[in-house]
Amino acid sequence: MTAQPIPVIIDCDTGVDDALALLFAVRHPGIDLRAVTCVAGNTDVDGVVRNTLTVLERAGAGDVPVARGAERPLIEAARSARHVHGTDGMGDLGLPAPARRPVDVDAVTLLRREILASPRPVTLVPTAPLTNIALLLRTHPEVTRNIERIVFMGGAVATGNATPVAEFNVWHDPEAAAILLTAGVPITMYGLDVFQRVVVPGADVRRLRASTEPGARLAGDLLAHRPAAPDPDGDDPDGGLGDAGAVCAVADPAGLTTRHLPVEVSLAPGATRGQTVVDRRPRPGEAEIHGAGRERAMVDVALDVDVARYVQLYLETIAA
């Protein structure tokens, strides 16, 4: 018997690699993409909505509902990543404006509606700052009864990009990330440690770019905008899957090695703000022994990834 597709909602800040994630989710037969919600992050929220609609149309999924969400984090100002994602947030590929408009309800309302309406519990996949998700959990906590799990791209065990120790999505809205971690549903953290490793070889990127099929060609153009490292020959750069790896982890969890570990988001101003503090100690330390331990959420933290498996999965799915 074939397994039923997993109902999935993606909350994103499209975003070159969010676009790669959307293309994969639309094309993977094991995923039923029920809605997409948008939040400020890589670019402003209106740009995110436009980019998301364009990608879904290009992927042949013009009927998936898209909603506009928060235009800034809970406390701080929005700080885009346009230097990475281009002035339009989509690699300045010159893509056409979408023909469609977002639904006429906000992201939190659409999230609540789609989660509660789903005949089977939904897997929520945030690939962006967690502002919409925090607002959802605080406004409509009853949604957790129909959430199977949350697989989010964010945080890191041992590295950073926005700062030496903080990953962009968590750093952009640390308070929202802290709320996410206490959602009370199973959470998988697909952090930078694995995110940065899943890279498509340059020859495959070139092949996708030469495709006559619009979705595959878009995937190639997006990957070419995400060089993993400078290409010694200058013409065939590898391309990082980025956020798309988190959706691969939903479709094929066996490719990801996780450990159930305590995680806390650093909310203090200063050098560690936005860091995900992951506790890998084998035994309690002096803090716990002397009663000064802290309450922390338990999270399935991604520690390793089968890179070849996810690259193959991505390429086969996009080509299908």
- Tell me which residues touch ligand BDR (CB under 6 A): 15, 17-18, 42, 81, 84, 127-128, 153, 161, 167-169, 242-243
Cβ pair 68, 106 in contact under 8 A: yes
> Shortest distance, CB of residue 126 to ligand BDR, whole angstroms?
9
Closer Cβ to ligand BDR, 84 or 277, answer by number:
84
Closer Cβ to Ca ion, 17 or 221, answer by number:
17
Is 15 a binding residue for Ca ion by CB under 5 A? The answer is yes
Cα–Cα distance between 245 and 192 in angstroms, integer? 11
> Shortest distance, CB of residue 14 to ligand BDR, whole angstroms?
8
| DSSP string for 196-239 | TT-EE-HHHHHHHHT-SSHHHHHHHHHHHTSBSS--TTSS---E
> Shortest distance, CB of residue 169 to ligand BDR, whole angstroms?
5
Closer Cβ to Ca ion, 15 or 239, answer by number:
15
* Pairing, β 31-38 against β 6-12: parallel
> Shortest distance, CB of residue 295 to ligand BDR, whole angstroms?
27
DSSP E strand boundaries for the chain: 6-12, 31-38, 66-68, 122-126, 147-153, 187-190, 199-200, 239-240, 256-265, 276-278, 297-305
What are phi and psi for residue 158, nearest 5 degrees? Answer: -140, 25
The residue of the chain with the least Cβ separation from ligand BDR equals: 168
Is 89 a binding residue for Ca ion by CB under 5 A? The answer is no
> Shortest distance, CB of residue 281 to ligand BDR, whole angstroms?
26
Closer Cβ to ligand BDR, 18 or 173, answer by number:
18
> Shortest distance, CB of residue 13 to Ca ion, whole angstroms?
5
Is 155 a binding residue for Ca ion by CB under 5 A? The answer is no
Stretch that binds Ca ion, among 83-91, 237-245, 286-294, 298-306 (CB under 5 A): 237-245
Cα–Cα distance between 188 and 41 in angstroms, integer? 21
Is 20 a binding residue for Ca ion by CB under 5 A? The answer is no
Of 56, 64, 66, 128, the one binding Ca ion by CB under 5 A? 128
Binding partner selected for residue 190 from ligand BDR, Ca ion, none, CB under the kind-specific 5 to 8 Å limit: none
Of 127, 131, 146, 266, the one binding Ca ion by CB under 5 A? 127
| 3-state SS class at 162 | coil
Q: Which residues of 221-253 are buried (b: 16+ CB within 10 A; e: fewer)?
A: bbbbbbbbeeeeeeeebbbbbbbbbbbbbbbbe
∠80-84-85 over CA atoms, to 5°? 75
Binding partner selected for residue 310 from ligand BDR, Ca ion, none, CB under the kind-specific 5 to 8 Å limit: none
CA atoms lying within 13 Å on the CB side of residue 265: 24
Is 18 a binding residue for Ca ion by CB under 5 A? The answer is yes
Query: Which tokens hold the place of 104?
Result: 């006429």
Contacting residues toward Ca ion, per CB under 5 A:
13, 15, 18, 127-128, 243
